[in-house]
């Protein structure tokens, strides 16, 4: 494999591993709806806390991005946080975590 091609392959794999894939606009709308409705049922309709902790940028500040994605995808055993892996790809989970860390508009 030529050196340039191997560099491109490494960059593509690194981007995929980092959850860099961005859902298309229609899926983004579905994910935001799910976040507000499904996640909001436990984390509060304004995501300011309820049965689950708040999901505000302040509450998520300093928390590891990959750890947050793992919680979204795999849930928390022994706690009411369910796994969302059957409904979300890893890239979609990264996208959602990034939106939460930025603050929803």
pLDDT number for residue 10: 39
Residue found by looking up tokens 């796994």 in the block: 83
Q: Is 101:65 a contact under the CB 8 Å cutoff?
A: yes
CATH superfamily of the domain spanning 22-102: Cytochrome c-like domain (1.10.760.10)
* Spatial separation of the C-alpha atoms in residues 7 and 29, rounded to whole Å: 34
The model's pTM = 0.79
Cβ-based neighbours of 32, under 8 Å, separated by 6 or more: 99, 104
CB distance 43 to 53 below 8 Å: yes
- Give residue 20's pLDDT: 57
- Extents of the domains making up the chain: 22-102
The pLDDT tens digits for 15-31 are 444 545 799 999 999 99
pLDDT at 50: 95
How confident is the model over 49-88, as pLDDT tens digits? 999 999 999 999 999 999 999 999 999 999 999 999 999 9
């Amino acid at each position: 494999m030529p050196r340039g091609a191997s560099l491109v392959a490494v960059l593509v794999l690194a981007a995929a591993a980092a959850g860099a894939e961005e859902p298309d606009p229609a899926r983004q709308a579905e994910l935001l709806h799910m976040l507000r409705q499904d996640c909001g049922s436990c984390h509060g309709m304004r995501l300011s806390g309820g049965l689950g902790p708040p999901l505000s940028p302040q509450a998520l500040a300093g928390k590891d991005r990959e750890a947050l994605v793992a919680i979204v995808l795999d849930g928390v055993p022994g706690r009411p946080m369910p796994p969302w892996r059957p409904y979300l790809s890893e890239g979609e989970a990264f996208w959602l975590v990034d939106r939460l860390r930025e603050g929803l508009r």
